[in-house]
Structure 1
Amino acid sequence: MKILISTDIEGVAGVFAIEQTRAGNPEYERARRWMTAEANAAIEGAFAGGAQAVWVNDSHGGFRNLLPDGLDARARVVLGKPRALGMMAGLEQQPDLVFMIGFHAKSQTRGVLAHTINNFAFTQVWLNGVELGEAGLYGALAREYGAHVALASGDDVFAEETRPLFPDARFETVKTAGGASSGDTLTPAASCARIATAARETVAHALSAG
């Protein structure tokens, strides 16, 4: 079984401020380590569950946030731009399952750092009459390639809006939104433990189901 993990930063535990998402300041450097740790938890969990190959896609901003030396050496890492398929680069490898780690709610919602692709360019994006955030848009793209979203993590608003789109997926809520830049959160260690367990169980279940 092959897994593609798409990773963003706004939905990572402990991330609430825009400064944490932009390169060039100490808060970002801490946040990218947390992002890397959550990605690695998903990687290690996927392999523990029986995955044969894992690709992890850096899907935030300029796509150069993950720290490869903090990732399991068995994984392949997709970094940088320009590239085809954006947040789903790696679908070319024909993965069976897609994990969305550190994702956020769509624009104009109360989710932490909520936006859709780029707040300066988009307020709403619609597909077949349904307003979608990044998870919905890129999840639809994954289905076109024969993969389906099996695991996602982020805040409670992200989970609420995305769960109906992927009813068979497992959602791990690592923080609860109090507003666009506030809320309560698991610690990075706790979020990583939950993500690793969820990844392991998700892959194991998929393999047992055939």
Structure 2
Amino acid sequence: MSVPADLTGLWRRELITTPDGGRDETTTVVWLQTSSWYADLRVPADRPARPGATCFADYSDAELLDLAAVQGFAGELSVGDGVCFWRRDLDYQPPSGVPDEGAFRLDGDLMIEDGIHTPYQEIWRRDPQSRGDLQAWRREDGLRVRAGGYFMDITEREFPLPPGATLAEIVQAALAAGDRATAIDALSMRISFGVIGPDGAWRITASTWPWLEGRTV
């Protein structure tokens, strides 16, 4: 089933709140939705910066653990009766077992989403520059999606993560065992978001591989 046109495009999260008083309006969150496939990336504002880095090996153990706080996922969206269900075929974090499902209300380019299985409310706003071409390319090792002047590209890690733990817990356990290679492997899924410039270049502006930011695909 095709996703309704009023849900397609690039959505930026402005705010998330939870009943316990939690509030976040600093994390960079982008959700790019085509008529079927979608991709989502969430980068905390305090993610470590490492000028000159070219790979994960250039980061300290503490910085690798901080990088594990990034979130990102992709799959197909199902919509019905005012509810969105985001199927996570690709996920930077281990599978939690909790469905990603929320009730939504639209007011033009503003969307309010209320969690069904987890209590939260998110406020989203659609970017007007994302109107236009909607494209999706599914690969064996990942996905690329486009909406107007924006894109997201995902390449899966070579092995699945075990369910139940968070990525930070997996990375921390590997580092505690002195096994940086396993920690880096766990972080190796590449999710990049970017802008398609007037020159036709696809330039990355946010990524789970921070050293790619500013480069072209």
TM-score range, shorter chain: under 0.3
Q: Which has the higher helix share?
A: 1
Query: Considering only CA atoms, is the larger Rg found in Structure 1 or Structure 2?
Result: 2
User: Relative contact order (alpha carbons < 8 A, sep ≥ 6): 1 or 2 greater?
Assistant: 1
Q: Which has the higher strand share?
A: 2
TM-score by length of 2: 0.27
TM-score by length of 1: 0.27
